[in-house]
Every structure is written in structure tokens, then in C-alpha cells.
């Protein structure tokens, strides 16, 4: 079995500072980490390899410094790391990101064997869109299971996978065919500590580096800023007039008292809710 895990290098959000004048995020000098959700995806792939054997390829699109995250993924036990790096990928929105990653996954399939499963995290902690996984699945025409909390079973002979998917209404148990893309939720498994042998191997392991040309990107105009239709019209800075109010003084406080306190602070809210209640009637 061959599984591909997409990992993104992101700024460590615990270390991010906001510029006091411009209110923009100050990224310079901020340490980077593997997007935390991607570690759960990697662990899910490692657990499957423990049971069924095979190989795991980790893939990232990013600047040359993203090699650090790939090396870290190798210390957890991934077999191979591919860094998709080229100036033409810079400034990519999700449309351009999925184009580049899907192209690289096709090339990975040709070089190292078609993937049975492609894993991504649920979302990143910097972009937060949660669009990249589904976008890759669409571009590769593979089935997708999103918001997966647990892989329950995998039948390699019948080529089916059964997974628990967390949804608003509860947990869905879904079964589908391989190949398939899975976006993995947080805290669904215990991320392992890498073995010493993996750490030693990771320190020396070659990282496969592909430019757009190496990855056989057919249309450069679909990459990076040029291939990104997303337009940022305005950045909203957090309001400095935000007010903090203590509304609950004890856990025993009745709900009515809490509502009274909320309405006292937000009188318009009470009127709006009353109007809605009349409409419902
Ligand atoms: P998500 O879709 O949240 O990521 C899901 C998973 O996809 C990840 O867990 C990871 O497994 C995989 N993945 C994502 N990126 C990579 C990568 N480079 N390499 C390998 N695997 C990856 N783009 C838009 O199109 N619309 C926006 O509104 C938008 N807003 C942004 C706001 C901020 C503050 C920032 C920093 C970026 C924004 N972007 C936006 C750009 C966005 O970060 C990029 O498109 C990014 O490459 C992928 O989107 P994401 O981080 O939201 O990924």
C-alpha cells in the first residue's frame, strides 16, 4: 500500500505577534511548525502502514525552508519526502495550491506507485480554508472522506475503507472505495514519538525536490499568484473598542438571569430576537 500525506509548514500561531501600528500579522522571525492537523493525518497513515505494510510519501509545497517540516515528518516514520518548490508557486490561493499539489501527486504516483490513500489535515492554522483536501480530490477524480475522526477498517482485497466522520448532527460511519482522499480531524489518535532509528535516518535522508518543470506542471499560469483568483479587498483589524464583561458570576445562576444580563449589555439583541419569534409564529 502506498499513501501520500500532504503537510504544510505554518507559522507557530502561539508565537505570532500583531503589528501594533498596521494590525497585520508579523511573520518575520516566527518559528515554523508542521500544521498540527497534518500530524494526525500522518499518524493515521503510519497506523495503516503498521497493519498493512507499504510506504508513506509526505508532500509539501512551500519555500526551500519547508524542508525542515519534511525532515520532521521523516523522524515520525514517513519513508519519503517530496518538496515542491519553485518561485512560480508563490502567492498561491487554494485553487492554485490544489493544482500544484494534484500535479505533484500524479507524478509521485508515476515515480513511486499510485497512492491508495491521500491524507490531508482538516485545515491549516494559517489559511484555515479547509478547501485544499477536497480540491485535490476533485482534481484527481478520487473519492473523498472529510472530517474523518477514525479509520475503522480497511479491506485491501476488496479495496474498501470504512471511517467515522464527525458531522454537526453526530458521527457518520461511511464506507467507500480506494483510492480515496481523507481529511483528518484533530485529536483522533495519539501522535507517536519518532523512533531513534527514524530520527537518525531523517537527519541524512535525501529530500526529493521538484520544481514546476520537474513535477510536469503543464500550465504555469495556473500556479501561484497568477493562478489565484482570490482578491483580498480589505483586511479587518480587530476592534480596539472590544469590551469584556463578566456576565456569569456563578454556575448556579439561572438561565433567565444570564439572559437578562446579556440583554442589558445588548438591548438590540432582545428586540431582534423578539421580532424573530413573532415571525416564526
Ligand atoms: P487548508 O485547505 O486549510 O488545508 C487543508 C490541508 O491541505 C492541510 O491540512 C494540508 O494537509 C494540506 N495543505 C494545504 N496547503 C498545503 C501545502 N502548501 N503543501 C502541502 N499540503 C498542504 N486562500 C484562498 O483561496 N482564500 C482565502 O480566503 C485565503 N485566505 C488566507 C488567509 C490567510 C491569513 C492566509 C495566511 C492565507 C490565505 N489563503 C487563502 C491562502 C492559503 O493559505 C493558501 O491557498 C494555502 O496554500 C492553502 O490554503 P489553506 O492554508 O487554507 O489550506
- Considering the entire predicted model, what is its pTM? 0.83
Is the C-beta atom of 185 inside 6 A of ligand 1?
Answer: no
Q: Which residue has the cell 515554523?
A: 32
Is the C-beta atom of 4 inside 6 A of ligand 1?
Answer: no
- Give residue-wise pLDDT tens across range 118-143: 999 999 999 889 999 999 999 999 99
Question: Which of 61, 126, 127, 207 to probe ligand 1 with, by most ligand atoms within 8 A of CB?
Answer: 127
What distances in angstroms separate CA 72 from CA 32, 39, 81, 86, 196, one per listed residue? 11, 10, 10, 21, 13
d(CA 44, CA 158): 20
- Give residue-wise pLDDT tens across range 84-121: 999 999 999 999 999 999 999 999 999 999 999 999 99
Is the C-beta atom of 103 inside 6 A of ligand 1?
Answer: no
Is the C-beta atom of 56 inside 6 A of ligand 1?
Answer: no
Distance 114 CA to ligand 1 centre (A): 25
Is the C-beta atom of 218 inside 6 A of ligand 1?
Answer: no
Q: Which residue has the cell 518538496?
A: 83
Residues 37 and 122: beta-carbon distance below 8 Å: yes
Q: Indicate the CATH number for domain 2-222.
A: 3.40.50.620
- Give residue-wise pLDDT tens across range 18-68: 777 766 667 677 899 999 999 999 999 999 999 999 999 999 999 999 999
Which residues in the chain are classed under CATH 3.40.50.620?
2-222
Grid cell in block for residue 46: 503510519
Amino acid at each position: 500500500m502506498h499513501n501520500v500525506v500532504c503537510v504544510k509548514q505554518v507559522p507557530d500561531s502561539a508565537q505570532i505577534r500583531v503589528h501594533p501600528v498596521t494590525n497585520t500579522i508579523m511573520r518575520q522571525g516566527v518559528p515554523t511548525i508542521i500544521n498540527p492537523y497534518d500530524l494526525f493525518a500522518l499518524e493515521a497513515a503510519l497506523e495503516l502502514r503498521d497493519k498493512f505494510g507499504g510506504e508513506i510519501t509526505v508532500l509539501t509545497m512551500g519555500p526551500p525552508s519547508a524542508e525542515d517540516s519534511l525532515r520532521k515528518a521523516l523522524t515520525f516514520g514517513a519513508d519519503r519526502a517530496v518538496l515542491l518548490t519553485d518561485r512560480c508557486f508563490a502567492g498561491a490561493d487554494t485553487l492554485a495550491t490544489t493544482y500544484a499539489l494534484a500535479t505533484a501527486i500524479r507524478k509521485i504516483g508515476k515515480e513511486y506507485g499510485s497512492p491508495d490513500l491521500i491524507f490531508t489535515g482538516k485545515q491549516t492554522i494559517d489559511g484555515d480554508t479547509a478547501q485544499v483536501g477536497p480540491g485535490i480530490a476533485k482534481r484527481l477524480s478520487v473519492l473523498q472522506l472529510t472530517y474523518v475522526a477514525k479509520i475503522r477498517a480497511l479491506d485491501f482485497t476488496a479495496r474498501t475503507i470504512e471511517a467515522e466522520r464527525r458531522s454537526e448532527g453526530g458521527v457518520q460511519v461511511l464506507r467507500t472505495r480506494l483510492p480515496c482522499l481523507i481529511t483528518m480531524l484533530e485529536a483522533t489518535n495519539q501522535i507517536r514519538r519518532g523512533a531513534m532509528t527514524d530520527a537518525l535516518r531523517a537527519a541524512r535522508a535525501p529530500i526529493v525536490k521538484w520544481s514546476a518543470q520537474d513535477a510536469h506542471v503543464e500550465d504555469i499560469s495556473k500556479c501561484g499568484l497568477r493562478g489565484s483568483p482570490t482578491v483580498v479587498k480589505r483586511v479587518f483589524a480587530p476592534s480596539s473598542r472590544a469590551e469584556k464583561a463578566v456576565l456569569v458570576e456563578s454556575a448556579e445562576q439561572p438561565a433567565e438571569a444570564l439572559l437578562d444580563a446579556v440583554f442589558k449589555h445588548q438591548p438590540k439583541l432582545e428586540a431582534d430576537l423578539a421580532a424573530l419569534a413573532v415571525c416564526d409564529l
